Amino acid sequence: MSKALLVVDVQNDFYSGGALAVPEADKINPKINSLLVKDEYKKVIGTQDWHPKNHKSFASTHDKEPFSEYEAEGIGPILWPDHCVQQTKGAKFNNEIYTKNFDLIIRKGYNPEIDSYSAFQENDGTSLGLAFYLKGLNIDEVDIVGLALDVCVKYTAEDALKNGFETNIILEGSKGIEQDSNKFKEILNNMKEKGINIKE
C-alpha cells in the first residue's frame, strides 16, 4: 500500500495560550515529528485553519458567547472563539513541528460564509481537492494526526474513509477537546464502528 500522512491543524491557537487551546496539545509534537522523519510516507500533507476576520463561525460575528449553539448551512453546531485568523500568530504552525517536511499545505475555512472541519471538504460539501491529489498519486492509505481529535481530525478521517482510503488515526499524535473519558471513548468507538482504525 502507498501511504500519506495528514497532519491536521497543528497551529498556535490550538496549543496552550491559544484562542481555542486543546488540553495537552504540546504532548503530541514528539510523535508527529517522529512520523515526519519516517520514509514510509509517499506524501505528507499539513492542514491549516485559515479564517478571515468576521468569519461566520466566530461567536463574535453574531454578538454571541463562544460555544453558543448555532446552526446554518456550513456553520455550526456551535460558534467558536475567534481563532486562526489569516496572517496572525495564532494561525501559524506550532514552531516545534517539522513543517519543512510538509509536501503540501491545505488551507481551509477561508470562505467567510462556510466552515471547514475536514481536510477533504468544506462543511457544505465543497471539495478541497485532497482526495483527487492523493488518488492521482496512487495513495490508498492515510495516517492522521493533529488537532483536535474530536473535531477536525474526526471529520478528516470520516471523509478519508468515504473517499475510499484505508484510514488510521494515531492516538499518540492527536488530542481531543472532550475531557470526559466516557464521552471520549464513545467518540472513538463511533469512529471504529464506521471503519476507522484507531492506533496507539
User: Active-site residue numbers?
Assistant: 9, 108, 152
Task: Answer whether 129's CB lies under 8 Å from 118's CB.
Answer: no
Longest Cα–Cα distance of the chain, Å, equals 49
CA 45 – CA 102 distance, rounded (Å): 6
Task: Answer whether 5's CB lies under 8 Å from 142's CB.
Answer: yes
Cell numbers placing 125: 460539501
Task: Answer whether 105's CB lies under 8 Å from 156's CB.
Answer: no
